[in-house]
Structure 1
Amino acid sequence: MTSSRRWWDGDLRRRAGVLRNVFPAPLGDTPEAVSALALSPDGHTLAVGGDAGTIQLWDTTTQQPLGGPLPSPGEPIASFAFSPDSTTLYAAGTHVALHRNTINPTRLIGHVCARAGNENLTRSEWDTYVPDAPYRRVCDW
Structure 2
Amino acid sequence: MAFSPDGSRLAAGDMTGRVTLWDGDHRHRVTALPNTFQPRIGSRLEAVSALAFSPDGRTLAVGGTNGGLQLWDVPTGQRIGGLLTTPGDAVYTLAFDARGTTLYAGSAHIPLQRYDLDPSHALSRVGARTDGSGLSPAQWQTYIPDAPYRRVCIPA
Residues 1:9 and 2:15 are matched in the alignment: no
Partners in 1 of 2:81 and 2:96 — Cα distance?
Answer: 18
- The answer to whether the 8 A contact 1:73-1:92 is kept is no
Partners in 2 of 1:129 and 1:67 — Cα distance?
Answer: 10
SS in 2 for 1:108: helix
Equivalences, count: 140
- What corresponds to 2:51 in structure 1? 37
Q: Given the two structures, how large is their TM-score scaled by the length of structure 1?
A: 0.74
Partners in 2 of 1:55 and 1:100 — Cα distance?
Answer: 12
Structure 1's 28 and 48: CA in aligned 2 closer, same or farther, altered over 3 A? Answer: same
- Cα RMSD after superposing both structures: 3.1
Structure 1's 54 and 26: CA in aligned 2 closer, same or farther, altered over 3 A? Answer: closer
1:102 is aligned, of 113, 116, 122, to: 116
Partners in 1 of 2:68 and 2:98 — Cα distance?
Answer: 23
Structure 1's 136 and 54: CA in aligned 2 closer, same or farther, altered over 3 A? Answer: same
Q: After superposition, where does 1:114-129 map in structure 2 within 5 Å?
A: 114=128, 118-119=132-133
Letter in 2 for 1:62: T
- The answer to whether the 8 A contact 2:81-2:146 is kept is no
Residues 1:22 and 2:17 are matched in the alignment: no
- The answer to whether the 8 A contact 2:18-2:48 is kept is no
Q: Given the two structures, how large is their TM-score scaled by the length of structure 2?
A: 0.68
Partners in 2 of 1:40 and 1:12 — Cα distance?
Answer: 22
Letter in 2 for 1:25: P
- What corresponds to 2:73 in structure 1? 59
Identity of aligned pairs, percent?
48
Deviations along 1:10-59, one digit per CA (max 9) or x if unpaired, are 34623343211111113464321111000000112110000011111112
User: Which range moves more in the overlay, 62-71 or 129-138?
Assistant: 129-138
Structure 1: gaps (5+ residues) = none
